[in-house]
Amino acid sequence: MTDFICHPAGSISGELRVPGDKSISHRAIILSSLAEGSSDITGFLRGEDSLKTLQAFRDLGVEITDNGEDISVHGVGLEGLKAPDHELYMGNSGTAMRLMTGVLVGQPFDSILTGDASLSSRPMLRVIQPLNLMGAVIDCLPEGTAPLHIRGGHPLTGIEYVLPVASAQVKSCVLLAGLYAKGETCVIEPLPTRDHTERMLRGFGYQVHRDEDRICLKGGGVLKGMNIEVPADISSAAFFLVAASIAPDSDLTLTHVGINPTRTGVIEILRLMGADIEILDERDAGGEPVADLRVRSAELKGIDIPEELVPLAIDEFPALFIAAACAEGRTRLSGAAELRVKESDRIQVMADGLVALGVQAEARPDGIVIEGSPGDQVFSGGQVDSAGDHRIAMAFAMASTRASGTIEIHDCDNVNTSFPNFVELADAVGLQIERPEPEESGEEDA
At residue 178, the pLDDT reads 98
Between CA 31 and CA 440 the distance in angstroms is 43
pLDDT of residue 344: 95
Do residues 265 and 72 touch, judged by C-beta distance below 8 A? no
Which letter does DSSP use for residue 68 in this model? S
* 113: enclosing H helix or E strand: strand 111-114
Q: List, edge to edge, every strand of the sheet that includes 432-434.
A: 382-385, 407-410, 4-7, 432-434
- The yes-or-no answer to whether 4-19+231-434 and 22-229 have a common fold is yes
Q: What confidence score (pLDDT) does residue 286 get?
A: 77
Q: Which of 21, 59, 233, 315 is catalytic?
A: 315
Q: What are phi and psi of 201, to 5 degrees?
A: -55, -45
Task: Say what the pLDDT of residue 445 is.
Answer: 36
Predicted local distance difference test score (pLDDT) of residue 446: 37
Question: How many Å apart are CA 95 and CA 56, to the nearest integer?
Answer: 13
- Which pLDDT belongs to residue 68? 85
User: Is 319 in a helix, a strand, or coil?
Assistant: helix
Each of the 446 residues of the chain gets a pLDDT tens digit; together they read 799 999 999 899 999 999 999 999 999 999 999 999 999 999 999 999 999 999 999 999 999 999 888 999 999 999 999 999 999 999 999 999 999 999 999 999 999 999 999 999 999 999 999 999 999 999 999 999 999 999 999 999 999 999 999 999 999 999 999 999 999 999 999 999 999 999 999 999 999 999 999 999 999 999 999 999 999 999 999 999 999 999 999 999 999 999 999 999 999 999 999 999 999 999 998 789 999 999 999 999 999 999 999 999 999 999 999 999 999 999 999 999 999 999 999 999 999 999 999 999 999 999 999 999 988 899 999 999 999 999 999 999 999 999 999 999 999 999 999 999 999 999 999 999 999 876 554 433 33
| pLDDT of the residue at 441 | 40
pLDDT of 443 reads 37
* The predicted structure's pLDDT at residue 129: 98
Per-residue model confidence (pLDDT) at position 438: 64
Q: What is the pLDDT of residue 171?
A: 98
Range 22-229: architecture per CATH: Alpha-beta prism (3.65)
| Dmax (CA) of the chain | 63
CATH superfamily of 4-19+231-434: Enolpyruvate transferase domain (3.65.10.10)
Known catalytic residue at 59: no
* Amino acid sitting at position 125: L
Three-state secondary-structure class, residue 380: coil
pLDDT of residue 64: 98
pTM: 0.91
Rounded CA-CA distance 104/102 in Å is: 6
pLDDT of the residue at 442: 41
Q: What whole-number distance in Å separates Cα of residue 93 and Cα of residue 76?
A: 24
Q: Please state the separation of Cα 50 from the chain's center in Å.
A: 10
- Give residue limits of the domains in the chain: 4-19+231-434, 22-229
